[in-house]
């Protein structure tokens, strides 16, 4: 997150260090200390560099370059108050010595939230540079400062609540990730490499002394339990910026400098088993490159990975990208392809980070320093339009965003509650903590419910691994592709609001399960489904109800929405070429017995005709109408009659 002025300051300081311009001090001792500080700075030993610069200033209190380099280092570590002090002293000594100091002062004031002061200094820089060439762009920062002041005048409701001592500590907590049912929270903590050294020394938060580890907590009776380290994944190196799948069984995260690394930082994958999390594996190209890849967010569609990358070919320095699962390795590791940049409606000329794709798969939350905001990294959202294109980002506003960094925002499936990390909400200390708050309505995503349960073999009662497909019955679009776990049979599938969905559960050697979830009704979101699914082995006499076969009212004309289910039946028959089935039609008891017998027979016949049209052999198909002779529920209620109006398949002997 370095600003443009850093490169210019670096050039100036390097010139000074190399002796290519005369230093302002006459003290040889101060000069030597300054050059040694410059060498430490180039090696990123900032703590030693600052100590040497303090010593140089003690030798010569008029040493302008020492103040300027100190300001540069304080900016690097986001210590803007100290940066301002150093710049004030340099400008007081000679305001014309380094004119970009006016610009640097304006940007520092902006990051401190002193927006009026920022505009004053930036305008001053514009005045002193009139007629001179400059690569710096004060107008962009003036625009951002004006935006911030306007946001302060129109605040959004925001009452952040600390996630408490079971989650937060004296260390930095950030990058929360949450399962769709809000039962498991995993997050990153910056912990000291040497606890004893940390307790006895005031250590800076640098990679020399700290590393990133994963911790998790579970929710019991709406309370988060004491956090635990994720020991099976944590190492002596850094692991961070993790993302859980909606069901909590997959994890993607970033790690840097490992032996199997493709470059700077890469994205890794692990999955939950009965023995714990598997050894993480590098997901490889084309997601990982010789450049920096990090901050993954795995979509609830079970197929799409969003991430941040510094690879070339983007719009800014670090951009947001996405990739799609196209295959799986033998060990279950997903193989990705089709990497795409999210485009100029999301990415700016500067840095974007911490993408979070909500379970609605329509709303993306992320952090950016390039779009107008309150300070460093601000939180934004972008929504897809009807054509699937991202729209211009919207700043989440004040006071959600502060002059400090806001990163790692995640939203619960229902879209009502946000979780995020901030170091700008406490006056007593400046470490990052995790918070939650009720998300204002205007920046909420589409609400999402879920269906959760286990898959069993109907005959043995054993839990089995199966694959899931959730499709929109209106257009046949695949919404979710997922799997249950092999060791527990558990599954969780997200159900975005406002549509009618067909859920199929599939396993080789079994009849598929058919479920229908109509989420046009608001109550569908408030009532997550708990469902145990029993798959029937393919053998004579077994039946399944085709929940997603629909007919016009009082007609045997198939509705277009039936195609999703009937295509699944075609696939089952093609994959099992010896399978013979009876299509059975059933009705409620409204109308005469003769009328309903004819209607049910003709409906079953319509299904058979659909199968014949798609190449299924006629000698494998029979049909029969049962009228209302085999009800599944009481015909006295609307719900009961709806359940009785159904199409079934029954496996016939070969």
pLDDT at 17: 40
Number of domains, the chain: 4
Are 300 and 386 within one domain?
yes
Q: Choose among 303, 412, 409: nearest CA to 365.
A: 409
The answer to whether residues 398 and 272 belong to one domain is yes
Residue 487's nearest CA partner among 456, 463, 466 is: 463
The verdict on residue 162 lying in a domain is: no
- Straight-line distance from the first to the last Cα atom of the chain, in angstroms, rounded to the nearest whole number: 68
Calculate mean pLDDT across residues 335-361. Answer: 95
Instruction: Return the structure tokens found at 97.
Output: 């010595």
pLDDT in tens, 165-175: 999 998 999 99
Q: Does residue 389 fall inside a structural domain? A: yes
% of the chain beyond a pLDDT of 70: 95
Residues 500 and 565 in one domain: no
Same domain, 98 and 199: no
- pLDDT tens per residue, range 44-97: 899 999 999 999 999 999 999 999 999 999 999 889 999 999 999 999 999 999
Domain stop point among 443, 462, 482:
443
562 belongs to a structural domain = yes
On whether both 175 and 247 belong to a single domain, the answer is yes
Residues 265 and 288 in one domain: yes
Please tell me the distance from the alpha carbon of residue 511 to that of residue 580, in angstroms, as a whole number.
12
Residue 578 and residue 512 share a domain: no
- Give the domain range for residue 203: 171-443
Residue 592 belongs to a domain = yes
Q: Are residues 373 and 513 in the same domain?
A: no
Residue 164, in any domain of the structure = no
The reported pLDDT for the residue numbered 429 is 61
Lowest-confidence region among 103-107, 345-349, 426-430, 529-533: 426-430
Question: Per-residue pLDDT averaged across 535-561, rounded?
Answer: 95
- The verdict on residue 163 lying in a domain is no
Rounded CA gap, 647 and 550, in Å? 9
pLDDT beyond 70 at 447: yes
The pLDDT value recorded for residue 221 is 80
Are 463 and 438 in the same domain?
A: no
* Lookup: tokens for 21: 């311009």
- Here the tokens at position 321 are 């990208």
pLDDT of residue 485: 86
- Same domain (yes/no): 463, 424: no
- Please check whether residues 466 and 497 belong to one and the same domain: yes
| 3 state DSSP class of 10 | helix
CA atoms within 13 A on the CB side of 258: 21
């Amino acid at each position: 997150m370095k600003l443009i002025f850093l490169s210019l300051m670096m050039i100036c300081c390097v010139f000074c260090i190399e002796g290519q311009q005369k230093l302002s001090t006459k003290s040889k001792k101060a000069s030597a200390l300054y050059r040694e500080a410059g060498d430490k700075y180039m090696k990123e030993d900032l703590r030693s560099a600052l100590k040497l610069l303090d010593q140089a200033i003690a030798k010569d209190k008029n040493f302008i370059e020492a103040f300027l380099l100190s300001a540069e280092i304080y900016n690097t570590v986001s210590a803007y108050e100290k940066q301002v002090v150093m710049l004030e002293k340099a400008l007081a000594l000679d305001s014309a010595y380094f004119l970009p100091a006016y610009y640097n002062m304006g940007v520092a004031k902006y990051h401190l939230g002193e927006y009026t002061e920022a505009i004053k200094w930036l305008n001053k820089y514009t005045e002193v540079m009139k007629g001179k060439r400059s690569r710096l762009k004060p107008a962009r920062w003036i625009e951002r400062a004006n935006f911030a002041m306007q946001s302060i005048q129109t605040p959004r409701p925001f009452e952040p609540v600390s996630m408490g001592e079971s989650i937060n500590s004296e260390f930095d907590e950030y990058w929360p990730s949450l399962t769709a049912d809000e039962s498991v929270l995993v997050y990153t903590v910056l912990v000291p490499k040497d606890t004893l050294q940390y307790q006895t020394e005031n250590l800076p938060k640098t990679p020399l002394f700290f590393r990133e580890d994963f911790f998790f907590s579970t929710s019991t009776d709406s309370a988060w339990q004491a956090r635990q380290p994720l020991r099976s994944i944590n190492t002596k190196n850094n692991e961070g910026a993790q993302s859980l799948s909606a069901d909590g069984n997959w994890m993607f995260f970033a790690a840097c400098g490992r032996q199997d690394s493709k470059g700077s930082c890469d994205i890794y994958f692990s999955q939950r088993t009965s023995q714990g999390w598997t050894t993480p594996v590098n997901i490889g190209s084309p997601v990982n490159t010789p450049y920096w890849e990090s901050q993954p967010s795995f979509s609830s569609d079970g197929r799409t990975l969003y991430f941040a990358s510094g690879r070339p070919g983007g719009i800014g320095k670090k951009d947001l990208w996405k990739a799609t699962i196209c295959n799986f390795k033998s060990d279950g590791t997903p193989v990705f392809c089709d990497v795409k940049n999210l485009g100029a409606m999301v990415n700016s000329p500067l840095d974007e980070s911490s993408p979070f794709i909500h379970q609605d798969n329509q709303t993306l939350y992320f952090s950016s320093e390039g779009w107008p905001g309150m300070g460093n990294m601000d939180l934004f959202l972008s929504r897809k339009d009807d054509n699937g294109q991202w729209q211009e980002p919207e700043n989440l506003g004040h006071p959600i965003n502060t002059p400090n960094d806001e990163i790692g925002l995640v939203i619960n499936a229902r879209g009502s509650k946000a979780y995020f990390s901030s170091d700008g909400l406490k006056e007593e200390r400046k470490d990052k903590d995790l918070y939650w708050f009720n998300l204002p309505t205007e920046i909420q995503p589409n609400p999402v419910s879920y269906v959760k349960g286990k898959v069993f073999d109907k005959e043995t009662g054993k839990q089995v691994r199966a694959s899931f497909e959730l499709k929109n019955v209106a257009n046949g679009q695949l919404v979710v592709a997922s799997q249950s776990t092999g060791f527990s049979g558990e599954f969780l599938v997200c159900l975005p609001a406002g549509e009618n969905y067909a859920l199929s559960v599939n396993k080789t050697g079994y009849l598929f399960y058919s479920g229908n979830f109509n989420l046009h009704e608001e109550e569908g979101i408030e009532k997550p489904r708990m469902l145990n699914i029993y798959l029937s082995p393919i053998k004579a006499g077994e039946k399944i109800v085709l929940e997603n076969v629909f007919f016009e009212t009082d007609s045997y004309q198939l509705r277009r929405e039936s195609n999703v289910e009937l295509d699944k039946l075609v696939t089952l028959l093609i994959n099992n070429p010896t399978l013979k089935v009876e299509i059975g039609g059933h009705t409620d008891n409204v109308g005469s017995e003769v009328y309903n017998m004819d209607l049910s027979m003709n409906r079953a016949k319509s299904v058979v005709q659909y199968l014949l049209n798609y190449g299924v052999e006629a000698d494998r198909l029979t049909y029969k109408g049962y009228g209302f002779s085999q009800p599944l529920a009481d015909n006295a209620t609307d719900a009961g009659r709806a359940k009785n109006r159904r199409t079934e398949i029954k496996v016939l002997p070969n």
